[in-house]
Structure 1
Amino acid sequence: MKRTNRSKSVIRRRYPSKALHAIALGLLAIPVLASAQLAPAPAEKDWREANDEVGKFKRGHADILKWEAQNTPAPQSQEEATPSLSLMTAEDAVRQAWKAHRELVWSMGKVGRANVDLIAKGRWTELDPMLQRKVGVVDELLEVAVQGRKAWIQAVASRQTLKHLRDALGAAEAANELGRRMVSVGNWSKLQQAQTQLALSSAQMNVRRAQHAATQAEAALIKTLRLTGVHSTIALPERLQDVPTMAIDQSVFDDRAEAIASQLPRAESMRNRAHVRLAQQAYQASHALALNTRDEVLKVREFITEETVLHYNGMLKSVWDLLGEVSNQSQAVVGAIDAQRDFWIAETDLQWVLQGGAPDSFVSLGGSGGETAAAAGH
């Protein structure tokens, strides 16, 4: 079976939630087919006959989808508060965090504008290691930057996950509606419908959990910025920045670690070496996991999803095969977002450690994204 350009556009690796949204819209068109079974007729039409009706359209399911999109009224959504603060980059979050600490104004002056800009942009390895000895106030400036950057990463990732799970919920709702109609015309049993009801319940619970996580992450970001009571919601980007293909070179690790160690007192230098090892391991592991998830797991999963859609459009796969693949794709995308978030947190910790910082703990890979690992260097 040849792939058309239209089929190829169904799945986009960088925007997997759009793929699920497209599938959800396709499933929402299925009840249109099922509605043909509800019309009075001398003999009930079965599912094959309903698909034959689709064949009367020039492009089959594509035309049904277009009709459904044009004729289905948009759902009424609850009005959301307009964000009064925009933080579209991690740099924005860092600079806002500094504003909350007025005592840092003097420190920023001592560090110098050029160095402040490097810290805000997350380019800490470009700082002069001698800065630790020349300016004794750089530590607090870096620590506040780390707090703001991490809180922003968590908030963006949580929203990204929530948006994706809402798209997946749309597919589950469409499947449940299809099951309900199948039962109403006698083509399904209540037992069969129960499976779609359970899938819908699971999708609803996932969205509720994700909504709670996103709300908590945003509240944590607002608290970190010391804006509680001032701002209730913040404008954030739709997704995190892509993970770089190449990790920081080992020679950069070694050179930077030695350079910073030479600027610290002996006791601090020993602790910093331990921190560097742990931060480096977390960074390398999170980078490998993020790339593996993005370039292998998602790539294979997207191929399977695309082929399932093609086979479904050719009536070689059932809608239930498609729904099962939507669920698998959903899990893969959530895993990819988690891996992407973990990498950027690990990268932040590593840059901090290479400036002499001492994180209490490092990211727990595959976890909730919080710093739940054992305390570093303790």
Structure 2
Amino acid sequence: MPPMFHLKLARLAAALWAAGAMLAPVALASPNDAPLDWRQANDTVGRFQRGHVDILRWEEAQHQDPAQPPAPSASLSLATPADAVRQAWKAHLSLAPVQAQLGAALTDAIAQGRWMALDPKMHRRVQGLSELLAVARQARQAWIQAVAARQSIGMHRDSLVAAQAAHELGQRMVQVGNWSRLQAAPSSLALGEAKMALERAEYAAALAERELVRVLQLTGRHDRIALPDGLPALPESLMSADALAHHLQGLRDQLPRAEAMRASAHARLAYEAYRTSHALAIAYRDQVLKTRELMAEEAVLRYNGMLMSVWELLSHTRSRLATAADALRAQRDFWLAESDLQWVLQGGEPTNFVSLGDGASADTAPAH
């Protein structure tokens, strides 16, 4: 998620905190407690420059178990999909002679995902090339899934921050008598759903990382893998239809008639998934997400001008976060579709292709 939106979310949370403070101008202390020093309280809140976001994180830190051991440090860094591919090849000793026959330049091109540099005729001259490509595709897709799953955790945490702010505001309104408990129930329900969504996202990320470890045959060798904060940026241009046809014809010339016909059918579907997924991801990035950001920014301005209720403001925030999650899935789907297309143009036959728009993951099993 862009850093600018984190700032906007912080401003929103601070606004909600201020709204809650105005609803409860009296100290919520028992008669036996000492009077609340409001000047000191204001100074304390002033230390949290990002408003309620910092307050929530400070409160969370206060409740952490001091005896809890720190999270294990990463023992392996996979900053790019090429790192994952090279690591996967290390686990297959039989692929070393294949890499030697290809040479360093072509081997590096495959690891980097530039499979169009590989002439289909190489399959006849280099025994074991199909296996090397299958391992590369599987590792690349497992890396994409793991990075996207981990990236989504941050979005769910942002959603939880917004839900916590709304919940606390609802509780303040109940305390001062402006709302009934029934009226505050939706914000409590939203908070519970946000917590469950975060738990599901964390579990999905753990599963994706476990699958990556399995694909790389690293089970039991590394406690934790370091992955980047997000997926690679989308390319601005795509493989042209002419380039596809030229490369496909070179592949068809190396195959029996029946296999050539299957390769053509696979290529058409893979290219359609590749082209469509790119169009969707670009539309989310350049149109839908930017429009949501504009609406969220305008909502904050209208709220500050007392032209919009806090609940309308929260609705814009939830919509913005949901759109960001959709944009991430679209970006992930493109890179999975791109990997499928490269595989198909080397004679691979995926059992299925990425499903666009429903969050379904592509088949990551190597096809032979």
Does structure 2 retain, via aligned residues, the 8 Å contact 1:84–1:234? yes
What is aligned with 2:308?
A: 317
Deviates more, 1:28-37 or 1:344-353: 28-37
Q: Give the 3-state SS of the residue equivalent to 2:60 in structure 1.
A: coil
Q: Where do residues 136-155 of structure 1 align in structure 2 (5 Å cutoff)? A: 136-155=127-146
Give the root-mean-square deviation of aligned CA atoms. 2.8
Q: Percent identity?
A: 47
C-alpha separation between the residues in 2 aligned to 1:227 and 1:21? 39
Does structure 1 retain, via aligned residues, the 8 Å contact 2:13–2:51? no
What is aligned with 2:34?
A: none
| Residue among 209, 213, 216 paired with 1:225 | 216
1:75 aligns with 2:60: yes
Q: Which amino acid aligns with 2:12?
A: I
The Cα offsets for residues 90-142 of structure 1, whole Å up to 9 and x where unpaired, read as 11111111111111111111121111000000111122232122213210110
Seen in structure 2, the aligned counterparts of structure 1 residues 195 and 65 have a Cα distance that, compared at 3 Å, is: farther
What is aligned with 2:178?
A: 187
Unaligned runs of 5+ in 2: 30-41
1:103 aligns with 2:94: yes
What is aligned with 1:264?
A: 255
Deviates more, 1:173-182 or 1:264-273: 264-273
Seen in structure 2, the aligned counterparts of structure 1 residues 22 and 135 have a Cα distance that, compared at 3 Å, is: farther
C-alpha separation between the residues in 2 aligned to 1:132 and 1:356? 9
What is aligned with 2:35?
A: none
Q: Where do residues 1-378 of structure 1 align in structure 2 (5 Å cutoff)? A: 16=5, 19-38=8-27, 66=50, 73=58, 75-76=60-61, 79-371=70-362
Q: Which amino acid aligns with 2:334?
A: F
C-alpha separation between the residues in 2 aligned to 1:322 and 1:67? 16
Measured after TM superposition, the shift of residue 71 of structure 1 is: 7.1
Does structure 2 retain, via aligned residues, the 8 Å contact 1:13–1:302? no
Measured after TM superposition, the shift of residue 260 of structure 1 is: 1.7
The Cα offsets for residues 276-325 of structure 1, whole Å up to 9 and x where unpaired, read as 11111111111111112111211211111110011112222121111111
Seen in structure 2, the aligned counterparts of structure 1 residues 278 and 32 have a Cα distance that, compared at 3 Å, is: same
Seen in structure 2, the aligned counterparts of structure 1 residues 127 and 244 have a Cα distance that, compared at 3 Å, is: same
What is aligned with 1:45?
A: none
C-alpha separation between the residues in 2 aligned to 1:306 and 1:162? 23
Does structure 1 retain, via aligned residues, the 8 Å contact 2:173–2:179? yes
C-alpha separation between the residues in 1 aligned to 2:337 and 2:363? 13
Seen in structure 2, the aligned counterparts of structure 1 residues 232 and 39 have a Cα distance that, compared at 3 Å, is: closer
Deviates more, 1:291-300 or 1:76-85: 76-85
Does structure 2 retain, via aligned residues, the 8 Å contact 1:85–1:235? yes
C-alpha separation between the residues in 2 aligned to 1:294 and 1:14? 14
C-alpha separation between the residues in 2 aligned to 1:339 and 1:71? 33
Measured after TM superposition, the shift of residue 29 of structure 1 is: 4.9
Does structure 2 retain, via aligned residues, the 8 Å contact 1:154–1:341? yes
Q: Give the 3-state SS of the residue equivalent to 2:127 in structure 1.
A: coil
Does structure 1 retain, via aligned residues, the 8 Å contact 2:350–2:363? no
Seen in structure 2, the aligned counterparts of structure 1 residues 101 and 66 have a Cα distance that, compared at 3 Å, is: closer
Measured after TM superposition, the shift of residue 176 of structure 1 is: 0.6
C-alpha separation between the residues in 2 aligned to 1:240 and 1:174? 29
Matched residue pairs, number?
346
Does structure 2 retain, via aligned residues, the 8 Å contact 1:176–1:200? yes
Q: Give the 3-state SS of the residue equivalent to 1:103 in structure 2.
A: helix
Q: Give the 3-state SS of the residue equivalent to 2:25 in structure 1.
A: helix
Unaligned runs of 5+ in 1: 1-11, 41-56
Measured after TM superposition, the shift of residue 158 of structure 1 is: 0.4
Measured after TM superposition, the shift of residue 265 of structure 1 is: 3.1
Does structure 2 retain, via aligned residues, the 8 Å contact 1:16–1:333? no
Seen in structure 2, the aligned counterparts of structure 1 residues 22 and 153 have a Cα distance that, compared at 3 Å, is: farther
The Cα offsets for residues 165-192 of structure 1, whole Å up to 9 and x where unpaired, read as 1111011011111111111111211111
Seen in structure 2, the aligned counterparts of structure 1 residues 238 and 27 have a Cα distance that, compared at 3 Å, is: farther
Query: What is the TM-score when the length of structure 2 is the normalising length?
Result: 0.86
Q: Give the 3-state SS of the residue equivalent to 1:129 in structure 2.
A: coil
C-alpha separation between the residues in 1 aligned to 2:4 and 2:208? 22
Does structure 2 retain, via aligned residues, the 8 Å contact 1:364–1:372? no
Measured after TM superposition, the shift of residue 248 of structure 1 is: 1.6
Seen in structure 2, the aligned counterparts of structure 1 residues 115 and 169 have a Cα distance that, compared at 3 Å, is: same
Does structure 1 retain, via aligned residues, the 8 Å contact 2:152–2:325? yes
Does structure 1 retain, via aligned residues, the 8 Å contact 2:11–2:51? no
Measured after TM superposition, the shift of residue 267 of structure 1 is: 3.0
Q: Give the 3-state SS of the residue equivalent to 1:358 in structure 2.
A: coil
Does structure 2 retain, via aligned residues, the 8 Å contact 1:96–1:225? yes
Does structure 1 retain, via aligned residues, the 8 Å contact 2:303–2:313? yes
